[in-house]
Structure 1
Amino acid sequence: MQIILFLGLVVVVYAVYFILSVLFAPLRNVPGPFLARFTNIWYLFQVHKGHVERKNCQLHETYGPVVRYGPKRYSFNSPEAIKTIYGHSTHFAKSSFYDAFMVPGVWNLFTERDIRFHASLRREFQATYSMSNLVNFEPYVDQCARLFDQRLHEVSAAGVPIDIGHWMQCYALDVISQITFAERLGTLDSGNDIGGVMKSLEDSFYYGSTVGIYGHIHPYLFAAISFLDRLTVRGNGQGFLYVVQLAQKKINAYKAKPAAIYEKADDGSEEFVSKFMKQNAANPERFTTDHMLTGCSMNIGAGSDTTGISLSAVLYYLLKNPGCMDKLREEIIAFGKDGKLSESPTYKQSQDMPYLQAVLKEALRLHPAVGQPLERIVPEGGATIDGKYFAQGTIVGVNCWAAHRNKAVWGQDADEFKPDRWLTTDTDKLSAMNRSWIPFGVGSRTCIGRHISMLEMCKLVPRIIRDFDFELVDGLQADWKTTAYWFVKPSNFRVRVRTCSAVS
């Protein structure tokens, strides 16, 4: 009985101490949901519901530029916060949230939290992912674009609606597989999820976006799930582990080919795995087989959802704004008549199309792929952000969705799709918008594959807008449905497709 009373007293004392420490904490005046002051369960519940990006925007709309979403978690939406937290000269490391996106023992650029080690790793990959190098992959992208074009013609002839969001990801997945391994996965052939890659990615991002909130439990939970998986008849890895295993199989198959197939002149035109093999052969201690695996698995793991989502967003907002669709099509047709746009549009040609580029930037502003704050840890000595001091160890971050809807930057029409805002002659305003436009992240952790995504979009969008008419099955008044588990992905984005009368 005395032991029970003692334990009860300990619990009461701890509870009182915890409550008082919260109520009298230095940052107690930072607003946010009441429950979020005491526990991360509030944030976990919002993520689980699948619309955390909307809630994050609502919090900033209600409370201002700095809001609380956990006991030691704070979200910002200002340009000043972006610069302070993510600037190249800052030392804000990623939080343990990112641990849940990795396979224990298999490092990758996205999840690596050590700033110096990440910088050294990134240097090994930087040249391969540069835009000057990636334009050499255009023939690979053209192959997939032509096949996608063929599928749309078939759909048009059949007169049946399709989930265009799914097909956009099929295109992106086949492109990234083609430029990584010199062969498509085959998703564009039938529209099927070949090998369950898409399903594995969806499971991975749900796991990472929820478990990451309690990142320290990831190694134990991952081990338990892997053990249970080995007990099944299938016995294959799931989620991120499945993607890593798939990449390793593809690498092994590529190595098994006759040397003459992949030993090409180093002119920048060969697939990623070939380039990685050459780097490994030249300096196996510096660029190891682990580098090869992480590069290839990183492409597959992050290279389809992001591009598929972004392409879907471009089409969705054009369909919701017919005037913008007409204006873009007019530009595309005019460039074609003037001989400035090929049958298979090139990346270089797309860069000379101002309205196309404005449409792409505006779609990525309103619907960036990532829907959760890009969490960082305040470094030793603390930091002042937006006029408030945050002690070291505090988790801070900017959600792209919130930053992209900050009316102080974008104006009262921040929630509207207006590509013309990017065509302003006001250089100061344009500069301010560009500083707050962060769909691929910002600073030293900017997405290394962003150029691949832009290459795919710049080549496909003018092609399909020129060749096809699209119609929302649910009508202009209905909003599409999305779910946010790290990535904000559309579901059942159904359209009807017809061969465009302008080119028929």
Structure 2
Amino acid sequence: MPSYWPIVLATSAAAYLLNNKFYKGLNKYPGAPLAAYTNWWRFFEVWGQKSEVTHVALHKEHGDIVRLGPNVLSFADPKAIKTIYGLNKGMTKSDFYPVQQAVSKGKRLQSLFSTTWEDYHAKYRRCVNGAFAMSSLVEYEPLVDSTTDVYIERTKELYCGEKKQRCDFTRWLQFYAFDVIGELTWSKRLGYIEKDQDVDGIIEFLNKFLSYAAPIGQMPFLDLILEKNPLKLQLEKWGVNKKVFPVTKFALDRSGERKDEMQKVRETGIVEKRPGRGIDLLTKFNQAQHDHPEFMTDAQVLAASTSMVFAGSETTAISLSSVFYHLVRHPKVYAKLMQELDDAAETGAIQQRDNNKVSWAESQKLPYLDAVIQESFRMHPAAGLILERITPKQGIEICGEHIPGGVIVGCNSWVLHRRPEVFGADVDTFRPERWIEADSLKLKEMKATMFQFGAGARTCIGKNISLLEIYKLVPTFLRTFEIEMACDDWKTRNAWFVRQSEFYTNFKLRSVPREVPPRDPVFSKSQKSILSSNTNHARHYAASRSIRTAWQLEEMGLDYKVEFSERENGKAPQQFKDDSGDALGKFPLLKDGDLTVGESGAIAEYLCEHYDTSNKLLPKDSATRVKCQRWIHASEATYALHALAILYTRWFGADDPSAAEKIEQGMSVNVCKDMDFLENELAKSGGKFLVGDSVTAADCMMLFSAQFILARQLGVQGKKWEKINQWVKDCENTESYKRAVEKTGHAL
């Protein structure tokens, strides 16, 4: 070799490195020293599987903008989220994502997650958006319940029986997440829970795949050499180098089993409901193929199905592990959450079901559960790298800085979730109370900074399904088992997703919920009542019809006290029956001196007749009075009757799901007619309330019925009544109703 070649090579290398260092003027942004010169720094950093720790440390040291590569910037300011991930900003996904594309018969499978083609993504998302909408959750809930039942029973067998063993909880939760996704996508579990093993090596394959994709994605050209080499892909097309991803094989097998059924859906667009079963995603994807034949192909249906397993199971399992880990590591939080769950069960806010299952609707009314889950998302988000985007050709301003075109930019949820000015100085502490203590503005800011599902048009499309699984399993599992840590700590590794391992636990069945202490009266001292000194009081069961009586008493300005009674095995206690003089023991009960009045409708009329001297709640005008009386009686005789028929069918119809479904469908027609009538009457009322601009006994009685139907989705799934929803808000915003809620603790 001529003597000048070493000089040429050294000079070329120096020029290359210096060009990287000063590339597009990005040298003004600090970061790890080597990161400015070469992408090999971030390749080996990600290879080390602790990138989230490094990114947090770099931003802590250098500030809001950190250089991670010659052409890569990471942003820590939450204001960057809207700019980088917002709609119509001209940002596109980087080449990091195609590395994660599955391959079938030598062809890449474009998915919503991995495609970099924005027009393609927009069309694809429009086709399948309905399958992932919040309104579709009610259709998927039976599928989640089916897997949850099996999961709870298998947990009892494996970890609570005679041969009970220590549980590798992260692994066990991953089995749950995989089987739920199988049920949701194909109406068939993959078999993890029943077999207690990695079926077809899918989890092992995903681990290896993500461990490959994370570092290779930092230098995507390597993927074109190693895995998506054009020669390898061509050999696959010819069948010489046959390679099928195990998830793809499972998807093809399941689709093949239902070939005729799906063909009918594609041809007609009609979906036949199966008794006791929800509509799965495979059906929804084929329905989208019928609705959009010009775009949705068989390959796209396959890609949509397989991507559910890739993305849906991994992130959900990580989030579930985070919730349970932080609970067992923080006993006071654990105890406080159990208090909320037991209280909710005691008051009827959580219905009693097989395996202590909690419905989606019920879970949304448990504020401390929500705080625990949000804090778990904050402490341990699933993704551990920046979500890369490429700036538009003309450049863009991000957080006051002009960033040139063609630069890779992004945010890391691990960095965003540890912003002290957003979440408080104790950002490294697991403290769910921060979500309850925050005022409305602070809460809005905190939620806007949460990045566990991404943001903007590319927000994780399966977000709602993941939330459905998490919000249902966590309270269900906690109500069934006591969990104890059986290790010093877990281990984590960041291979794109920050997976946990060696989180060992012991389980013990909760034989009965802990004893709930008797509730104290709202008023500890006797109060002089304008009805009868120290004698007028209402016997009350929280979350019951007695909110009607309390609200009416508040509207009339009458003094009263509340005594609480707890149900015993779901029934009124004997003392309550003795007090009422009625063996039925019905709630609520009003005592006025020596007189006892039962049934909420009778109480409403009694109070109006004896104490509504201004005829405010039951007007004198004959037509208005008759209308009010009709609502008083319709609230129970019509609205509650039809709704309870559905509720009882859900409770007791498990032995004959087909008959139960028919009953619910039939009664749903009646409930919808009832609600349509209420909607029309509100439109004609001439004011905010049922018979004008003032609250009457009609509102006091009917509000609970409407709330009850809507909160428990009794025959009104997917239906919306604008006037009813506004009326409910207006009623709930009255000061009298707020006082009644405060005194009774009422919550649906």
TM bin (shorter chain)? over 0.9
1:54-65 equivalent positions in 2, closer than 5 A: 54-65=53-64
TM-score with structure 1 length normalisation? Answer: 0.92
**2:243 maps to 1:237:** yes
Tell me the amino acid that sits aligned with residue 301 of structure 1. Answer: F
Larger Rg: 2
Tell me what 1:160 maps to.
165
The partner residue of 1:247 within 240, 251, 255 is 251
**2:443 maps to 1:430:** yes
The partner residue of 2:152 within 145, 149, 171 is 149
Tell me what 2:687 maps to.
none
Q: Is the 8 A contact 2:94 2:408 kept in 1?
A: yes
Tell me what 1:46 maps to.
45
> Shift of residue 217 of structure 1?
3.0
Tell me, what secondary structure is at the counterpart of 2:110? coil
> Shift of residue 134 of structure 1?
2.4
Tell me, what secondary structure is at the counterpart of 2:127? helix
Cα distance change of structure 1 residues 388 and 173 upon mapping to structure 2, 3 Å threshold: same
Cα distance change of structure 1 residues 195 and 63 upon mapping to structure 2, 3 Å threshold: same
Tell me the amino acid that sits aligned with residue 507 of structure 2. Answer: V
1:104-503 equivalent positions in 2, closer than 5 A: 104-154=107-157, 155-157=159-161, 158-223=163-228, 237=243, 241-255=245-259, 264-265=271-272, 269-342=278-351, 343=353, 344-474=357-487, 478-503=488-513
> Shift of residue 24 of structure 1?
4.5
Q: Is the 8 A contact 1:135 1:455 kept in 2?
A: no
Tell me the amino acid that sits aligned with residue 246 of structure 1. Answer: F
After the TM superposition, which of the residue ranges 191-200 and 282-291 deviates more from structure 2? 282-291
In structure 2, stretches of 5+ residues that fail to align are 515-748
> Shift of residue 387 of structure 1?
2.9
Q: Is the 8 A contact 2:170 2:501 kept in 1?
A: yes
Tell me the amino acid that sits aligned with residue 139 of structure 2. Answer: N
Tell me, what secondary structure is at the counterpart of 1:304? helix
In structure 1, stretches of 5+ residues that fail to align are none
Q: Is the 8 A contact 2:18 2:37 kept in 1?
A: no
TM-superposition CA deviations, 1:121-171 (whole Å, max 9, x none): 111110011121122111111111111111221212233211011111111
Q: Is the 8 A contact 1:307 1:457 kept in 2?
A: yes
Tell me what 2:667 maps to.
none
CA distance, structure 2, for counterparts of residue 161 and residue 391 of structure 1: 54
> Shift of residue 451 of structure 1?
0.8
After the TM superposition, which of the residue ranges 46-55 and 13-22 deviates more from structure 2? 13-22
**2:4 maps to 1:11:** no
CA distance, structure 2, for counterparts of residue 227 and residue 119 of structure 1: 27
CA distance, structure 2, for counterparts of residue 450 and residue 112 of structure 1: 18
Tell me, what secondary structure is at the counterpart of 1:291? helix
> Shift of residue 247 of structure 1?
1.5
Cα distance change of structure 1 residues 94 and 259 upon mapping to structure 2, 3 Å threshold: closer
Tell me, what secondary structure is at the counterpart of 1:503? coil
Cα distance change of structure 1 residues 147 and 229 upon mapping to structure 2, 3 Å threshold: farther
CA distance, structure 2, for counterparts of residue 223 and residue 258 of structure 1: 31
Q: Is the 8 A contact 1:468 1:500 kept in 2?
A: yes
Tell me what 1:74 maps to.
73
> Shift of residue 291 of structure 1?
2.3
CA distance, structure 1, for counterparts of residue 336 and residue 475 of structure 2: 12
TM-score with structure 2 length normalisation? Answer: 0.63
Cα distance change of structure 1 residues 280 and 16 upon mapping to structure 2, 3 Å threshold: closer
After the TM superposition, which of the residue ranges 162-171 and 37-46 deviates more from structure 2? 37-46
Tell me, what secondary structure is at the counterpart of 1:483? strand
Cα distance change of structure 1 residues 266 and 284 upon mapping to structure 2, 3 Å threshold: farther
CA distance, structure 1, for counterparts of residue 176 and residue 248 of structure 2: 21
Q: Is the 8 A contact 1:226 1:237 kept in 2?
A: no
Tell me the amino acid that sits aligned with residue 272 of structure 2. Answer: A
> Shift of residue 19 of structure 1?
4.0
> Shift of residue 390 of structure 1?
1.7
Cα distance change of structure 1 residues 108 and 228 upon mapping to structure 2, 3 Å threshold: closer
> Shift of residue 398 of structure 1?
0.2
Tell me, what secondary structure is at the counterpart of 1:309? helix
> Shift of residue 18 of structure 1?
2.8
| Identical-pair percentage | 34
Q: How many residues align?
A: 494
Cα distance change of structure 1 residues 431 and 282 upon mapping to structure 2, 3 Å threshold: closer
Cα distance change of structure 1 residues 491 and 236 upon mapping to structure 2, 3 Å threshold: farther
TM-superposition CA deviations, 1:198-246 (whole Å, max 9, x none): 111111111111111111232331146968998xxxx8736xx332233
TM-superposition CA deviations, 1:464-490 (whole Å, max 9, x none): 11111111112xxx3310111011111
Tell me the amino acid that sits aligned with residue 243 of structure 2. Answer: G
> Shift of residue 404 of structure 1?
0.4
